[in-house]
Amino acid sequence: MPATGETLSPLNPKVHVSSVGQSQSEAAAPTWQQELANAVRTPEELCSRLGLSLESVSPKAAATFPALVTESFLKRMEVGNPFDPLLLQVWPASDEEETVAGFVSDPTGDLQSQSTQGLLRKYSGRALLVLNGACAIHCRYCFRREFPYDLAPKSLAAWEPAFEQIGADETLSEVILSGGDPLIWNDHKLKRLIDRIEQIPHVQRLRIHSRIPVVLPSRITAELIETLRNTRLKVVMVIHSNHRNELQGDCLDQLTRLQRSGIPILNQAVLLRGINDSVEALVDLCEHCANIGVMPYYLHQLDRVSGASHFEVPIEKGKQLVDELRKRLPGYAVPRYVQEVPGALSKLPIE
């Protein structure tokens, strides 16, 4: 998603983090900001790194929604395989140029749910803050790829109208941080935000929706973990992974750090054609999540955003796949198959 001009200040490179599961100084490796700055940003570089042809790249799609892939995520792709399930999620394909009826710019009704800039009131008892429009990866099926992020508050002071609305509604017990990706904010700014939310007495829980633990694992710093451990709020981390191959290497190491710090982790996946629309792929993903202590949470029917029609799996096939998951997996490893409908007060189960 397009950046919002957020300035990311460097972290302290000399902090030792053995108390939260990392034995060496983070000064030994580039900062996560440096990794993000060095991410792959063109189809040409992506093809060069993976030994692929540019023939199936859509220049128009790449210009409309630029490619962005971190080094960590790239390393989990298979060189020479144009059908790699991780690659297909970030590949600017010519299919994106198709105009398909029912696929729109705001498929989940975010704009009609915005009560003040950056604050969405979609769900009972919960308030959602769209902190920014920047991500560490550009997923081609992103339902907010056309969201007007430039209108979001740029400073903590500018978020005060949102905080005041949350403070005035005692039915709100949970704040959800979303984006873009909320973990693009640096540790200092995130801590100040969380401190401000803590001042609202009826808010008890903080939920963070982020793809960053999967695609930019180095972002899980000692400072971030300490902030999440020390808040009075109950913190829940919801990650986004669609295929087992995403949850390995440095990603698995950092998820383990979060778990050992007492932060529960849930996974949301999107059902995507050619990526995870088989029983085998979904069983592998859900069973692996259960094995590493990540609870399978939701399996989303694709949000019908413009440019993503080629990812859609028919609902009837999705129902069949989930039925098979129930036969093969314990109940706690079967995600709820859901769809977001504009105006609904919750995700709607697909039965």
Superfamily of domain 110-349: Aldolase class I (3.20.20.70)
Query: For the chain, where are the alpha helices, taking DSSP H only?
Result: 32-37, 43-50, 59-64, 71-74, 110-113, 160-168, 187-198, 212-215, 222-230, 250-260, 279-291, 315-328
Structural domain spans, the chain: 18-97, 110-349
Q: Which long-range CB contacts under 8 A does 91-94 form with residues at least 24 apart?
A: 91/43, 91/46, 91/56, 91/57, 91/140, 92/43, 92/57, 92/58, 92/61, 92/62, 92/65, 92/67, 92/140, 93/56, 93/57, 93/58, 93/61, 93/140, 93/310, 94/56, 94/57, 94/58, 94/61
Summarize pLDDT for 166-192 with one digit per residue, the tens: 999 999 999 999 999 999 999 999 999
Summarize pLDDT for 127-143 with one digit per residue, the tens: 999 999 999 999 999 99
- Its pTM stands at 0.90
- The least confident of 5-9, 251-255, 303-307 is 5-9
105-115: average pLDDT:
89
Summarize pLDDT for 252-287 with one digit per residue, the tens: 999 999 999 999 999 999 999 999 999 999 999 999
pLDDT score of 6: 38
322-333: average pLDDT:
98
Strand runs labelled E in 76-223: 114-116, 119-120, 126-130, 174-178, 205-210
**pLDDT band at 3; cut points 50, 70, 90:** very low
**pLDDT band at 10; cut points 50, 70, 90:** very low
- The least confident of 81-90, 92-101, 113-122 is 113-122
